[in-house]
Amino acid sequence: MFKQAHWDEPVIFESGHGGRRGHLVPDVEEDVKKAVGDVMELLPEKLKRKKPPKLPQLSEVEVVRHFTRLSQMNYCVDLGLYPLGSCTMKYNPKINEILARSPSIAMIHPYQDEETVQGILEILYKLARWLAEITGTSEVSLQPAAGAHGEFLGTLIMRAHHKLNNELEDRSELIVPDAAHGTNPASGTMAGFKVVVVPSDENGCVDLEALKNAVSDRTAGLMLTNPNTLGIFERKIEEIAGIIHESGGLLYYDGANLNPILGKVRPGDMGFDIVHINIHKTFSTPHGGGGPGAGPIGVSKELTKFLPVPRIEFDGEKYHLDYERPHSIGKIRCFYGNISVLLKAFAYILSLGAEGLEEVAEISVLNANYLLHRLRDIRGLDVPYAKDGPRKHECVLSVEGLYKETGIRALDFSKRILDHGIHAPITYFPQIIKEAIMIEPTESFEKEELDRFVKTMKMIAEEAYSTPKKVLNAPQNTAIRRLDEAKASHPKTLTLSWKMYLKKK
Ligand SMILES: Cc1ncc(COP(=O)(O)O)c(C=O)c1O
């Protein structure tokens, strides 16, 4: 049985004793003075601290124990199944981490002369080429730091394109399906567009008639995920692309669900003009807890002139940075993007190769369909769209019926999953499904782990009917019991740092 460790661990600022230390900093004042002069005199007055910072005073072993205890109260993809739908929480191969930490990568500085960073420029240049090949686009920018950031850049490029055609004022509407991730309408709104929502049809795909009615000469573009957030492939994508392009709009691909089509079909070939890639999902760099991530975008040939600067160019001998792009939207992030994240993706693609990436897609689809087939007949778990499948990377269940019968909601169900040493799936997304539980197993988990998940889901569904209190009071076996999730994000109670905590107290 799963039982998570529990420690009454204070925050690090509340522990330690005066005078303890884990590290002796060498007294280099004289050396520094010799090299650059008196630093304190060079520093502008406003940047000087009046008092030393109040740092916790602990020995090295106390620090190690503190963080080890905290890690024992946590859950991670190295421990077991992490079926967060639409998040592609796959295993992160350790070789990638080792490479990203190597001093020759970690110690270089973005202000170094390009002559001295030829190696990393080559890696970034090649990664961008590979991503262009994988997505079927012409050129890729590695700058954005997340999928949502890529979306924002993509919609800015849409703006730039319509502006250059003197159409921006007229083309003010961005179409988004009702199954889309919330970042799609948010990015479009931030870029200044009015968002028009189109409904899904009875098969869980974009309703073509509704799309035709929504499209007009005000249309700037359509943002679409394919496979969509139900895990269903939009088979009529070429027709959709035709409708959008005929109206003069652009087609944007939300690449959060790229994993199951790797090497099989390319967004560029489906007709998409702008594509973002969630490196931290598809290309196995760690994510969760807010990052760091990377959300490169690829664009069709016509749109390359708008990509952010600097562009990394290769003249056959050397790599160099090109800032001379008059139509560029400018910069979206400092320097070249999140280098260490990009390097891990480079290592992942290099180690798998084209055939390996295709196998990733195949196994992830097999796993999702295996789960759908095993879960759909469990009493209390309904499949609202296309019950017989097929799915690509994920499947979405609904416990709306179970809720009406027993009072057990998707939230309670997912809390009970935690009691079995499995991370909870995504819940309440996509919003078109009531009491949704969205499951993406990825290719990283073996059949025994998937079977354990099915057994757990069946047991919880049975408990919902027989002993609902067990489910309502879950989790019991985790280090921390049920949390008030709203409290963590409410402006009044949100506390992001120790300083903020003290202030609020
Ligand atoms: C379908 C979809 N689009 C976009 C995003 C945004 O990506 P990111 O979290 O990297 O900003 C997500 C994130 O989960 C997603 O699932």
pLDDT digits (tens, 9 = 90+) for 280-321: 999 999 886 655 899 999 999 999 999 999 999 999 999 999
Expressed in angstroms, the distance from the first to the final Cα of the chain is 39
**Where are any strands of DSSP class E within 241-354?**
250-253, 274-276, 297-299, 311-314, 319-322
Lowest mean pLDDT among 24-28, 66-70, 95-99, 415-419: 24-28
- For ligand 1, the distance from its centroid to the CA atom of residue 463, given in whole angstroms, is 33
Q: Residue 291's pLDDT is what?
A: 59
Q: Taking the complete model, does pTM exceed 0.85, yes or no? A: yes
Per-residue pLDDT at 186 exceeds 80: yes
Q: How far apart are CA 310 and CA 307, in angstroms?
A: 9
Mean pLDDT of 409-419: 98
Under a CB-based contact definition with an 8 Å cutoff, are residues 495 and 501 in contact?
yes
Residue at 408: amino acid letter: I
Q: Which atom of ligand 1 is nearest to the CA of 255?
A: 3
At 447, phi and psi to the nearest 5? -60, -40
Mean pLDDT of 174-202: 97
* Residue bearing tokens 């070429």: 238
Closest residue by Cα to atom 14, ligand 1, is 87
- For ligand 1, the distance from its centroid to the CA atom of residue 87, given in whole angstroms, is 7
User: What does each C-alpha distance from 103 to 33, 100, 120, 232, 336 come to in angstroms?
Assistant: 27, 8, 12, 43, 18
With H, G, I as helix, E, B as strand and everything else as coil, classify residue 321.
Answer: strand
Which residues are near ligand 1 (CB < 6 Å)?
86-87, 146-148, 181, 183, 225, 229, 254, 256, 278, 293, 295
* Percentage of the chain modeled with pLDDT above 70: 99
Q: Which atom of ligand 1 is nearest to the CA of 148?
A: 11
Under a CB-based contact definition with an 8 Å cutoff, are residues 232 and 391 in contact?
yes
Q: Which atom of ligand 1 is nearest to the CA of 150?
A: 11
Closest residue by Cα to atom 7, ligand 1, is 147
* Residue bearing tokens 């993007």: 337
Under a CB-based contact definition with an 8 Å cutoff, are residues 405 and 465 in contact?
yes
- For ligand 1, the distance from its centroid to the CA atom of residue 449, given in whole angstroms, is 25
